Amino acid sequence: MATKTTKTKPESAKLEKATFAAGCFWGVEAEFRQIKGVKSTQVGYSGGEMPSPTYEDVCSDKTGHAESVEVTFDPEKVSYEKLLGVFWNNHDPTQVNRQGPDFGTQYRSAIFYHSEQQKKAAMASLQKLQKSEKYRNRKIATQIVPAQPFYRAEEYHQQYLEKRGLSTCHI
């Protein structure tokens, strides 16, 4: 008796990482988790001086870290450019060190690129957005900088909104 085998498309062998800071990481993470092709997310701290900071350290506004989301994605299913679109559309990149009621350097807007291709794509998307009518006379304050060590935040911050049955933040 012959058995029928079905061919399944193998998972992409090459997953990539993208790291974004756009204010409070709870809402940012929730947005990226909804994107098809995103394999996982984790919230944490990037861009600072102190190794292995805690939430309390970062909130002191003395470590230089930004609340960030590290996105692991399959580039065969979702492009980095699409992730950039989600990033730009879910915060106000003209705000300096704040988003809504949250303020401090930990709430700055930043793209931490992991490759030259990501850097070029981020720069191109920033230039395109700055030339668009969306922000008219306001300058985009988003930093585009090389990825630095990413320190995973405490477990209670991971998928914070999802664990509470919420879909969005207060912003």
CA distance linking residue 95 with residue 13, whole number of Å: 38
pLDDT in the model for residue 116: 98
User: 10-residue block means of pLDDT along the chain (171 residues)?
Assistant: 44 85 89 95 96 95 95 98 97 91 92 98 96 88 97 81 64 47
Catalytic, 169? Answer no
Domains in the chain, please, with CATH?
A: 16-153 (3.30.1060.10)
Candidates 24, 71, 121, 147; catalytic one: 24
